Amino acid sequence: MMAFADHLPVLAVLLPALTAVLLLLVGDGGGAEDQHDNARLRWTRRIALASVLLGAVFAFRLVEQAATGTLAVYRVGDWPAPFGIVLVVDRLSAYMLALTSAVAVPVLWYACGGWDTRGRHFHALFQFQLMGLNGAFVTGDLFNLFVFFEVLLIASYVLMMHGLGRERLRVGLHYVVLNLSASALFLIGIALVYGLTGTLNLADLALRVPQVTGPEAGLLKAGALLLLVVFGFKAALLPLAMWLPATYAAASAPVAALFAIMTKVGVYAILRVHGVTFGAEAGALAYAVQPLLLPLALATSVVGVLGALAAHTLPRLVAWLTVASVGTVLAAVGLFNTEAWSAALFYMANSTLVIAGLFLLSELVAAQRGPMADRLEPCSPVAQPALLGLMLLLAAASTAGLPPLPGFIGKLMVLEASASHAAAVAVWAVVLGVGLFTLVGLARAGSILFWSVRTELPGQSAGASPQLLGATLALLGMSVLMSAFAAPIQRYTAAAALQLQDRAAYANAVLPEMGGAQAETTRPYRIPPKDQPGLQPMGQPAAPGGEK
């Protein structure tokens, strides 16, 4: 019989799905004020919070299990891959599950402070969103990646417009139409890949893609580029990023904070599909997207920080910083070496936590500024200037990359990984320049919000509740903790980057009946010193003596 731990990959998906169904049965009171509906709302909140906390326990248990180098493979219905649905958890998948939980718990706690009563079924939709996110991170099949994309997107459509409002409806309509178009392109890309390889299982694809040659290789490359368009849209990669600032700025604060992890699904898909399946060992299709990914990622960072400098509201500034951070992460991915991938994973976790915290902080500040709300214009003083100002200062320092915060560590890792790359000058210029202008933009916002005050205007006399402050501080505090535990986290991300390259172990774990590579799937992945071949750029042989 299977042990309970063996079911954790599927429980990461089933737990939020079953919780969502239960919450729909319980009901949420719909914002009514009678005693019966208030009791239902309390139970809804308890069930939802208990579910995300339990999901966090599962996620960090999977991280502990993945840290040994074991690939957890779960075959739904016990059908062998590639014929059945398979869920696979390696270091990268477990890392993304843990990051999702780290965002979801404080964001849901914040939403329970009142946002969940401004519309129907907030908690059920929140759980469906988590189901889609977790499913995308654990699926071992390209078609099921599409399915989970749709689950999280359908939930996000309703969450985006939760609480209504004219601007939210207007932007939400654009968001829905654009994502439906991207989904149609996703299906076309999947059809091309399946038609030319006969499989959509990621482990099987990694084995079959190198065998495609001749005219078929050109068609398969077109399919790979089409998938890059789709994943780039989800991740907000230029020129497909212009939808994000208006969408995230219009969403409610807890929804925008949760959406901070949603762009990382696109990053994850690019890393998993284009970095591995179409990576170093893909034959004629090796690094099919490399000429495009790095320049587009650098341009995304530049446009993102310029948008932040031009923003007139705090949520829109934070939304543009989301674009800039995605550009930095994808620039590291586009370097296509293990050190850069490790840096991308480290920096991605920090930027996600800080951006989510900034979205919550934006609402706390806006609620205390009277008629100006979140607009970057002088207004009445806020009720908690010292606390909110220090929180913004902490977030600004980490986002800009000032030592000793994890934003600095992540960017330093990116710069070190790019030192021997042909585009090193461009990468250094963009990463350092974007960091400088990010600091300028947030400093400008802070000076307007907390120093340029007009005492004649009415302000908010009451400060934020401990619940709202605690949730926001939790996100920013986790970013600070990343500095304290930077060494073990860096070791983990380096091991995850190395494990991604071991296509033989992945194939042997997922496709043992088909004679997958005879690698030992449960062996630990040890991180070699920098002077050893394990950290060589992918697809390039190690020099004698381990020298690069």
497-546 confidence digits (pLDDT tens): 999 888 888 888 888 765 554 433 333 333 344 443 334 444 443 333 33
Q: Identify the residue with better confidence: 530 or 452.
A: 452
What does the block give as tokens for 356?
């989510």
- State the pLDDT at residue 259: 92
Tell how many helices (H) and how many strands (E) occur in the chain. 19, 2
Contact between 139 and 272 under an 8 Å Cβ cutoff? The reply is no
- pLDDT surpasses 80 at 58: yes
Contacts of 295 (CB under 8 A, 6+ apart): none
Contact between 270 and 293 under an 8 Å Cβ cutoff? The reply is yes
Q: Which of 85-99, 276-290, 344-358 has the lowest mean pLDDT?
A: 276-290
HEC assignment per residue over 485-537: CHHHHHHHHHHHHHHHHCHHHHHHHHCHHHCCCCCCCCCCCCCCCCCCHHHCE
CA angle (33, 34, 36) in 5-degree steps: 125
- State the pLDDT at residue 260: 92
Give the chain's radius of gyration (CA, Å): 23
How far is residue 356's CA from residue 364's CA, in Å, rounded to a whole number? 13
Phi, psi of 379 (to 5 degrees): -155, -170
How far is residue 381's CA from residue 389's CA, in Å, rounded to a whole number? 11
How far is residue 351's CA from residue 255's CA, in Å, rounded to a whole number? 17
SS3 81: coil
Q: What percent of the chain has pLDDT over 70?
A: 89
Residue 314: closest CA among 436, 433, 448, 440: 448
How far is residue 71's CA from residue 479's CA, in Å, rounded to a whole number? 28
- State the pLDDT at residue 33: 55
Pairing, β 72-75 against β 86-89: antiparallel
Q: Which of 5-14, 344-353, 535-544 has the lowest mean pLDDT?
A: 535-544
Number of residues that this document lists for the chain: 548
CA angle (391, 394, 398) in 5-degree steps: 140
Q: Which residue has the tokens 């042989």?
A: 541
Q: Which residue has the tokens 């070496």?
A: 337
Q: At 6, is the pLDDT very low, low, confident or very high (cuts 50, 70, 90)?
A: confident
CA dist list (Å): 137 to 10, 103, 198, 262, 393: 11, 15, 23, 11, 33
Q: Highest mean pLDDT range out of 1-10, 200-209, 491-500?
A: 491-500
HEC assignment per residue over 17-67: HHHHHHHHHHCCHHHCCCHHHHHHHHHHHHHHHHHHHHHHHHHHHHHHHHC
- State the pLDDT at residue 294: 93
Residue 248: closest CA among 162, 315, 310: 315
How far is residue 262's CA from residue 284's CA, in Å, rounded to a whole number? 32
pLDDT, averaged across the chain? 85
Average pLDDT of the segment spanning 212-229: 89
| Identity at 25, one-letter amino acid code | L
Q: What pTM value is reported for the model? A: 0.89
H/E element holding 169? helix 166-197
- pLDDT surpasses 60 at 318: yes
Q: At 11, is the pLDDT very low, low, confident or very high (cuts 50, 70, 90)?
A: very high
What does the block give as tokens for 154?
């359908």
